[in-house]
Amino acid sequence: MIEAIIVEIVRVESRTEPPATQVEYAVKNNSSGPVWVVNDNWLIWSQAGKAIELSFKRGSMRKGSEVFGYFPPAVVRVDPGGSIRATIELAWPQRLDRLWNADSAAAPLPGDYDLRVRIGYGLTPEPEKPKHGEGVEDPVFRWQQEATSPASTMTIPAYAGSA
């Protein structure tokens, strides 16, 4: 079976001064219709041992987060047969947005990791409006589908505080 939406890690490059890793990934639409890829630029970090996932989907807000007017995800349209590329630079330790992440920073030990990139997308430009009495995130999670890249090796260089 051919996947409709393909996520591929195109390039992973690390440097020691300043310590950082740059990850470039591509999203290709192999479906017969357009898709709208979440383009909020919010990073959700997940790590389990030597496996790291960088997620750019719309995730659940952390419990206790105050919502002052929830808004639909920013998206970019990808037509059938089309693709987009994006690059993120991870500065070590990597600061994380506490709205989506339990920790304020990602500080993995230097070394090699299996890296995956996850994206969210919809088949329409935006989610429907919340129904009466429904949480503000529910329509987004009904709308959003996900795709994840195969693993690629990411080498994290030594950085201050990583000893």
Domains present along the chain, CATH in parentheses: 5-156 (2.60.40)
Spatial CA neighbour of 12 closest among 87, 73, 62, 91: 87
| pLDDT above 80 for 28 | yes
Average pLDDT over residues 10-18: 96
- 21: pLDDT confidence band, cut at 50, 70 and 90? very high
pLDDT of residue 132: 87
Q: What is the pTM of this model?
A: 0.92
Q: Which residues are registered as beta bridge partners of 44?
A: 55
pLDDT, mean of residues 28-55: 96
pLDDT at 60: 80
Q: What are the φ/ψ torsions at residue 151 (nearest 5 degrees)?
A: -70, 145
Tokens for 49, please give them: 């041992």
